[in-house]
């Protein structure tokens, strides 16, 4: 039985109440079951860099994968297949039916806190990679959920901001990756964005959801809200938002039933959404197991998965500078290597927010480099100095200094009361591994009713050193931190602050205090807190509603006093070393969902540290771990620069492979690196005014902007060096005329010869850009990426790279005609290039010129 047949057979059996029940979540990650007709719960999970499972903090370990921007840096669809194998296994080990990814929004500003999740500033590259990811995972019977539709490209005021975008820019840039993914791989679900687009929330945006997604693209999958991102009752159902997440239900349920009774919405509209939910249930195999019991989540750490992640991470690394061929490292007997920087001794696997998970294991650059050098057989000294502190918030408590007073193991005891006064017996207790005590995804059903409750976290703290140590607290509701019964921090009211270190910004700004403590002495540390008071709001069936959430919890930071001059220590180590590997960047505190970054600069004194080290040691290589572009005021002072992104649990091993030449770097930038922030087009109107952002760059997003204004970026889109060198020649097309049939078919194949002119085998990513040679009817970018090919070339060998051009390669959106248009008779140049600013080698072709306008499938050829 097909999904359509199943839905058609079950829908008449459902009551109105049961249909409505399908349209909202049951809890944080699951939908509602209807056992009477055999329907089980669907379980969802984030997402972009791994499968976390059903618990946001302290859950079962999971594979931590390279971030989206790193995957895009591989420019390798085959690598997406390999990564998908891991995701499929991880989903099955945690009983996940819908994987909440990939993230395909276009990163518009280099300050975007969530840029690392997304693939690229180019919609063609993003869409093609997303399509491959979706196809492979859904072949295994697991749904994907590309997000966030559409224009969710800044975290600042994301719940309220209105993105004002021209129709042409909306079609050519911001919805195009979704359109490519839908046309090529048909994702079974899709997630809407929090923000507004042109005045309407995305969760109830008729133009986005009904006009484009449903009617024009003909998509029949489930459109779900982002978590707590449903802003209406009736309008969202009217336009085709099928699922409100998470549960327990906020907007729908009894409210939707009452709206139907009042004649505000027809049962036919409810049936449309319920039908799509039934199709999804069938597709993921949850339509015929009424008594399905969810098994415990498992951690599956496989050697073959480690190998894939290591290889994928290495191929995503981008070599930006390599003066004097300082890389790969030439090890020699007695060599002294200094591994310096705040990220050198840390396992920085990912940015923060929805991407958070507990990895199967962690690796650090210093340990990986030291181990690899030791295994090389060459006696060399590898030393480490952090050089500075770079934490944005006080770090979470080290597992080695805390003890759960109930279990005796590292961690906290967390207890809950069904009152606001911690009175009587606790109704629920659990153990937590970390000092971020987020409550909302582990609460028992009795505490998810909206009634307020209290909770208490307890641990025994044993400092390693004596000193004036720092504590911090951020709390969603009123909270107090007590040390041996004495209140040391008190947050008297609820907060919702973008400066909060708690997820989704549902907490207070971090409060800090310093206390003198003794090494080895035990102290009782207690967090007493009360759940947040819900925000009152006026309810309406038809108008936008204010947000009302139940998220609660607290975050406790602890940092022992540091009395060392870390900068001086690092510079002295650099001065007596033969080579310096500087590992800098950001982490989940600085680059995260819920808040954008304040600048393109590295945190704290990072830039000063790099300059000071480079002054005493010219043989300095900088390794940068970020998901977004950074400023590099020290670029001319150092010999080498590597963009290492966030690479997951294998990041340090992959980095070491590239540094020592075990892997020849082949990654290329999927985003442009500006010289200064003001070069970026979003700087004209970011973060907007009065919750309104005008996308003034229009269709000239990303590298198109730099081309348009003839600005030289720091590093252009598509740029990346190798330990090999390559030359392009003999570019050619299969035909010098592109003709289209009535159904829109018609292609040209482009080929170019690539010669490896070095003595090292390497992979080259050949990019094919289209550039108009005759004046277009409407203004167009100087060049646009419309294909690429990744080829392995042996020393002295010549291989052929190729791509295929079709109507998408030459079409543009005409917002007056409201359709995709191709200019008949237009001449184009296809350029095979190493990056977006490379002159490359080019060949021309012409679009066939009709006598009159011809409707050819999804576009029109204009005479």
Closest CA to 593 of 226, 150, 324: 226
pLDDT at residue number 372: 97
Burial level of 264, CB count in 10 A (0-12/13-18/19+)? Answer: middle
Mean pLDDT of 510-534: 93
Boundaries of every domain in the chain: 1-36+147-163+181-186+189-283, 399-559, 726-862
CATH of 726-862 among 3.30.1490.120, 1.10.760.10, 2.60.40.10, 3.30.230.70: 2.60.40.10
Longest alpha-carbon distance in the chain: 89
Confidence (pLDDT) at 182: 97
Question: What pLDDT does residue 535 have?
Answer: 66
CA angle 128, 131, 134 (to 5 degrees): 155
Query: What tokens appear for 679 in the block?
Result: 């070069």
Mean pLDDT for the stretch of residues 225-242: 95
Range 113-138 average pLDDT? 97
- The counts of H helices and E strands in the chain are 18, 38
Terminal Cα-to-Cα distance of the chain (whole angstroms): 47
Asked whether 791 and 831 are in contact (CB, 8 A), the reply is no
Residue scoring higher pLDDT (354 or 367)? 367
Among residues of the chain, what percentage have pLDDT more than 70?
Answer: 98
pLDDT at 543: 85
Q: Evaluate whether 280 touches 141 at the Cβ level (below 8 Å).
A: no
Residue 261 banded pLDDT, cuts 50, 70, 90: very high
Mean pLDDT of 791-798: 98
Active site residue 853: no
pLDDT score at 455: 94
What does the pLDDT look like over 449-493, one tens digit per residue?
Answer: 778 899 999 999 999 999 999 999 999 889 999 999 999 999 987
What confidence category does residue 292 fall into, taking pLDDT thresholds of 50, 70 and 90?
Answer: confident
User: Is the CB of residue 290 less than 8 Å from the CB of residue 35?
Assistant: yes
Binned at pLDDT 50, 70 and 90, residue 743 comes out as confident
User: Does pLDDT of 504 surpass 70?
Assistant: no
Catalytic hit among 58, 76, 162, 226: 226
Residue 58's pLDDT is 86
Tens digits of residue pLDDT in 65-124: 999 999 999 999 999 999 999 999 999 999 999 999 999 999 999 999 999 999 999 999
Mean pLDDT, the chain, integer: 94
DSSP output for 819-830? EEEEETT-EEEE
145-154, 244-253, 505-514: least confidently modelled range: 505-514
Q: What pLDDT score was predicted for residue 496?
A: 65
Contacts (Cβ under 8 Å, ≥6 apart) of 597:
110, 111, 112, 113, 586, 590, 591, 628
| Strand 98-100 versus strand 44-46 pairing type | parallel
pLDDT recorded at residue 283: 97
The residues near 32 (Cβ < 8 Å, ≥ 6 apart) are: 21, 22, 24, 25, 26, 41, 247
What mean pLDDT is predicted for residues 605-626?
A: 98
Contact 863, 850 (CB under 8 A): yes
317 pLDDT more than 70: yes
**In the predicted model, is pLDDT for residue 605 greater than 70?**
yes
Give residue 536's pLDDT: 62
**pLDDT, position 614:** 98
pLDDT at 71: 98
Which fold, 399-559?
Jelly Rolls (2.60.120)
With bands split at pLDDT 50, 70 and 90, how would you rate the model's confidence at 408?
very high
pLDDT score of 265 more than 70: yes
Q: What is the pLDDT of residue 776?
A: 87
Beta bridge partners of residue 556, listed in sequence order: 473
Comparison of pLDDT for 316 and 500, the residue scoring more: 316
Give pLDDT tens digits for 808-819.
999 999 999 999
Same fold, 1-36+147-163+181-186+189-283 and 726-862: no
pLDDT score of 18: 97
Closest CA to 179 of 131, 142, 138: 131
Q: Which CATH class is domain 1-36+147-163+181-186+189-283?
A: alpha beta
Angle at 353 between CA 352 and CA 356, to 5 degrees: 70
Is 505 a residue whose pLDDT tops 60? no
What pLDDT is stored for residue 258 in this prediction? 96
| Burial category of 81 from C-beta neighbours within 10 Å (exposed 0-12, middle 13-18, buried 19 and up) | middle
Separation of alpha carbons 249 and 254, rounded Å: 9
Q: What pLDDT digit, counting tens, does each position of 553-596 carry?
A: 899 999 999 999 999 999 999 999 999 999 999 999 999 998 89
Task: Tell me if 829 sits within 8 A of 774, measured CB to CB.
Answer: no
pLDDT band at 546 (very low <50, low <70, confident <90, very high): low
**What CA–CA distance (Å, rounded) separates 107 from 639?**
29
CA 829 to chain centre: 34
Task: Please state which of the ranges 278-282, 432-436, 655-659 shows the lowest mean pLDDT.
Answer: 432-436
């Amino acid at each position: 039985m097909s999904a359509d047949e199943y839905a058609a057979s079950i829908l008449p059996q459902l009551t109105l109440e049961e249909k409505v029940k399908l349209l909202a979540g049951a809890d944080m990650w699951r939908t509602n079951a209807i056992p009477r007709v055999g329907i089980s719960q669907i379980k969802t999970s984030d997402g972009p860099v791994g499968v976390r499972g059903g618990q946001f903090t302290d859950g079962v370990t999971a594979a931590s994968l390279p971030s989206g921007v790193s995957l895009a840096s591989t420019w390798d669809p085959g690598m997406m297949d390999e990564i998908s194998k891991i995701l499929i296994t991880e989903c099955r080990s945690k009983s996940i039916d819908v994987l909440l990814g990939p993230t395909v929004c276009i990163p518009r500003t280099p300050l975007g806190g969530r840029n690392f999740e997304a693939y690229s500033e180019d919609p063609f590259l993003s869409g093609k990679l997303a399509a491959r990811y979706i196809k492979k995972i859904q072949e295994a019977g697991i749904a994907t959920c590309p997000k966030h539709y559409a224009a969710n490209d800044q975290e600042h005021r994301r719940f309220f901001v209105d993105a004002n975008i021209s129709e042409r820019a909306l079609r050519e840039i911001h919805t195009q990756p979704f359109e490519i993914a839908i046309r090529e791989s048909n994702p079974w679900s899709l997630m809407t964005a929090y923000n507004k687009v042109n005045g309407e929330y995305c969760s109830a945006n008729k133009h986005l959801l009904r006009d484009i997604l449903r009617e024009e693209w003909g998509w029949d999958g489930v459109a779900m809200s982002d978590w707590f991102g449903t802003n209406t009752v009736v309008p969202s159902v009217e336009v085709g938002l099928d699922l409100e997440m998470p549960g327990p239900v906020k907007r729908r349920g009894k409210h939707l039933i009452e709206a139907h009774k009042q004649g505000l919405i027809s049962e036919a509209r409810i049936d449309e959404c319920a039908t799509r939910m039934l199709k999804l249930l069938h597709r993921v195999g949850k339509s015929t197991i009424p008594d399905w019991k969810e098994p415990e989540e498992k951690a599956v750490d496989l050697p073959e998965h480690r190998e894939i992640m290591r290889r994928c991470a290495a191929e995503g690394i981008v070599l930006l500078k390599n003066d004097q061929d300082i890389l790969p490292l030439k090890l020699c007997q007695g060599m002294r290597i200094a591994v310096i920087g705040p990220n050198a001794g840390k396992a920085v696997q990912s940015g923060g927010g929805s991407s958070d998970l507990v990895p199967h294991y962690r690796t650090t650059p210093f340990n990986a480099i030291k181990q690899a050098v030791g295994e090389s057989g060459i006696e060399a000294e590898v030393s480490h100095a952090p050089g500075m502190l770079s934490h944005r918030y006080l770090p979470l408590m080290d597992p080695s200094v805390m003890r759960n007073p109930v279990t005796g193991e590292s961690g906290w005891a967390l207890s809950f009361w069904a009152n606001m006064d911690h009175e009587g017996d606790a109704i629920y207790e659990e153990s937590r591994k970390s000092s971020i005590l987020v409550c909302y995804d582990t609460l028992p059903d009795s505490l998810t009713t909206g009634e307020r409750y209290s909770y208490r976290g307890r641990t025994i703290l044993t400092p390693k050193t004596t000193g004036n140590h720092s504590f911090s607290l951020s709390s969603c509701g009123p909270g107090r931190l007590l040390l041996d019964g004495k209140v040391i921090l008190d947050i008297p009211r609820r907060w919702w602050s973008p400066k909060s270190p708690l997820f989704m910004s549902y907490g207070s700004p971090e409060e800090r205090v310093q206390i003198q403590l003794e090494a080895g002495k035990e102290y009782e540390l207690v967090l007493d807190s009360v759940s947040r008071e819900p925000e009152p709001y006026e309810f309406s069936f038809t108008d936008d509603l204010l947000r009302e959430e139940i998220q609660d919890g607290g975050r406790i930071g602890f940092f022992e006093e540091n009395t060392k001059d870390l900068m001086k220590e690092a510079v002295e180590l650099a001065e007596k070393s033969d080579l310096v590997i500087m590992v800098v960047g950001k982490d989940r505190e600085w680059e995260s969902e819920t808040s954008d970054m304040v600048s393109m600069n590295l945190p704290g004194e990072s830039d000063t540290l790099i300059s000071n080290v480079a002054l005493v040691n010219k043989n300095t290589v900088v390794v940068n771990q970020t998901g977004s572009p950074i400023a590099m005021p020290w670029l001319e002072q150092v010999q080498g620069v590597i963009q290492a992104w966030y690479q997951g649990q294998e990041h340090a091993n992959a980095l070491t492979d590239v540094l020592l030449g075990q892997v020849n770097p082949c990654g290329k930038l999927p985003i442009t690196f500006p010289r200064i922030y003001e070069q970026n087009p979003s700087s004209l109107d970011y973060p907007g005014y009065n919750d309104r952002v005008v996308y003034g760059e229009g269709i000239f997003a990303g590298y198109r902007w730099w081309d348009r204004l003839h600005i030289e970026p720091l590093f252009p889109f598509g740029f990346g060096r190798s330990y090999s060198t390559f030359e392009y020649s003999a570019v050619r097309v299969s035909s010098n005329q592109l003709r289209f049939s009535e159904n829109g078919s018609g292609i040209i194949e482009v080929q170019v010869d690539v010669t490896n002119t070095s003595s090292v085998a390497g992979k080259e990513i050949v990019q094919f850009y289209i550039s108009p040679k005759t004046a277009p009817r409407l203004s167009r970018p100087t060049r646009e990426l419309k294909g690429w090919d990744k080829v392995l070339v042996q020393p002295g060998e010549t291989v052929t790279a190729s791509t295929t051009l079709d109507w998408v390669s030459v079409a543009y959106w005409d917002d007056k005609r409201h359709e995709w248009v191709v200019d008949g008779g237009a001449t184009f140049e296809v350029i095979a290039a190493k990056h977006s600013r490379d002159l490359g080698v080019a060949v021309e072709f012409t679009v066939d010129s009709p006598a009159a306008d011809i409707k050819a499938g999804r576009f029109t050829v204009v005479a």
